[in-house]
């Protein structure tokens, strides 16, 4: 796996020695050296949770690594709004300490709440319109009687 090789090289460069880079990498990610070896030999497919752990350990964007490793294609990724497009409610979720999966679930729930609020607003507008129509009918009838 190319990503692992790159991070091992970074680890070796950071400590200015190749010896022990794999051990340090495995410890940071929370897997055994044997697991790292199987990844490098491509004996097993890397689990999504492990890619996320690598991203977390090395301060990398999880979605970017998941795409690089092949879990997702760019076109499969959900739209990510720019800073200017993010409102206060979304920002609260996005700036939380939660992992990306939980954030996505909460943002989905936010959209569902907003949709429910919109339905309630539309229903209230219709009730208000019907009330006004009854009131106008009453006033028209009153005006006819007094004329």
Q: 63-119: per-residue pLDDT in tens?
A: 888 888 887 776 666 656 667 778 888 888 888 898 888 888 898 899 899 999 999
Residues 38 and 100 in one domain: no
Domain of 66?
A: 2-77
Between residues 11 and 88, which one has the greater pLDDT? 88
Residues 86 and 59 in one domain: no
Listed residue (49, 42, 46, 20) closest to 33, CA to CA: 20
Residues 63 and 10 in one domain: yes
Locate the DSSP E strands across 35-127: none
pTM here is 0.49
pLDDT at 127 > cutoff 70: yes
> Which letter does DSSP use for residue 137 in this model?
H
Tell me which of 77, 96, 113 is where a domain ends.
Answer: 77
Instruction: Return the CATH number at 70.
Output: 1.10.260
Residues 20 and 52 in one domain: yes
- 119: alpha, beta or left, given left = phi > 0 and alpha = psi -120 to 50? alpha
Tell me which of 36, 53, 77 is where a domain ends.
Answer: 77
pLDDT at position 123: 95
What share of the chain in percent tops pLDDT 90? 31
pLDDT at 7 > cutoff 80: yes
pLDDT at 43 > cutoff 70: yes
Beta-carbon neighbour count of residue 76 at 10 Å?
9
pLDDT at position 2: 81
Number of domains composing the chain:
2
Residues 66 and 93 in one domain: no
Residues 36 and 88 in one domain: no
Residues 87 and 136 in one domain: yes
Residues 112 and 89 in one domain: yes
Residues 73 and 112 in one domain: no
User: Per mean pLDDT, which of 11-15, 58-62, 104-108, 130-134 is the most reliable?
Assistant: 130-134
Tell me which of 77, 106, 123 is where a domain ends.
Answer: 77
Residues 99 and 58 in one domain: no
CA atoms within a 13 Å half-sphere pointing along the CA-CB vector of 63: 13
Beta-carbon neighbour count of residue 96 at 10 Å?
11
Residues 56 and 84 in one domain: no
Residues 9 and 71 in one domain: yes
């Amino acid at each position: 796996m190319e990503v692992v090789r790159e991070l091992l090289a970074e680890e070796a460069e950071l400590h200015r020695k190749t010896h022990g880079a794999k051990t340090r990498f495995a410890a940071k990610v929370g897997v055994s050296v044997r697991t790292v070896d199987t990844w490098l030999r491509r004996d097993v497919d890397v689990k999504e949770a492990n890619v996320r752990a690598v991203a977390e350990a090395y301060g990398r964007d999880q979605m970017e690594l998941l795409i690089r490793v092949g879990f997702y294609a760019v076109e499969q990724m959900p739209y990510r709004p720019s800073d200017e497009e993010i409102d206060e409610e979304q920002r609260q979720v996005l700036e939380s300490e939660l992992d990306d999966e939980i954030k996505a679930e909460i943002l989905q729930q936010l959209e569902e709440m907003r949709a429910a609020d919109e339905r309630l607003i539309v229903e209230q507008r219709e009730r208000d319109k019907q009330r006004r129509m009854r009131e106008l009918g009453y006033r028209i009838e009153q005006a006819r009687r007094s004329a």
